[in-house]
Amino acid sequence: GKDFKTGQTLVKSGFAPILKVRNLGLNGWFSTNILGNRDGLVLDEPANFHTKEVSKLSTLETILKKEDQPDLYGNIYHKVRINYYPPRNDNKEGWDNIDIFGWMGYPMQIKINFLCRDSILAAPLLLDLSLLMDLAARDGRYGIQRFLSFFLKSPMHDFTKGEEAVNNLFDQYVMLKNAIREMGGYEPDEEID
């Protein structure tokens, strides 16, 4: 997974499923981040940014599959930018402009301005992830732990077994709850559509 899902990728993985279940079309999604910490400095370098860009772009592609609904998601313009701005320090600001269309092609916009602190969002995820990895090891689980994708930007999956990455936050939550139930000796209680 490589990186915690704390900012815009969290927003995308939670908001894109809303568009999908309401059959709202997406023309474009423009995201920009302002970061002042070392993360921002490192990502200011184009070669370093490319890896982050690929993981951020894939979130929408795996949730809003153009082959499933080409009239709604067949031509999405998706742009991601990260800007280093030292006065911001550990504070992070994410701006999202989402151009959608509804019934009869009526255009609408959604604006999200997410002001947060990276370390405050990441610290509890690190604690949860550590405890869950320990629990999984005690249960004899090794290798790729797909249920941990709830916490991470780039969900790992075994493509040799035909698995696809799951980026939908709600599906990831079902996977997490089911894995915890199984490790506790209970049956999974939900299925992913």
Residue 17 maps to a domain: yes
- State the pTM of this model: 0.87
Return the H-helix or E-strand segment holding 114.
Answer: strand 107-117
Cβ-contact 182, 175 below 8 angstroms: no
pLDDT tens, per residue, the chain with 193 residues: 578 898 889 999 999 999 999 999 999 999 999 998 888 888 888 888 887 787 778 899 999 999 999 999 999 999 999 999 999 988 889 999 999 999 999 999 999 999 998 889 999 999 999 999 999 999 999 988 999 999 998 888 878 888 888 999 999 999 999 999 999 999 988 787 6
For residue 148, give every residue at least 6 positions away whose Cβ sits within 8 Å of its Cβ, in sequence order, or none: 1, 129, 132, 133, 176
Query: Cα–Cα distance between 113 and 60 in angstroms, integer?
Result: 18
| Residue ranges making up the domain that contains 161 | 121-183
Q: How many domains does one find in the chain?
A: 2
Residue 1 maps to a domain: no
Residue 153 maps to a domain: yes
Do 128 and 112 fall within a single domain? no
Residue 159 maps to a domain: yes
Do 27 and 88 fall within a single domain? yes
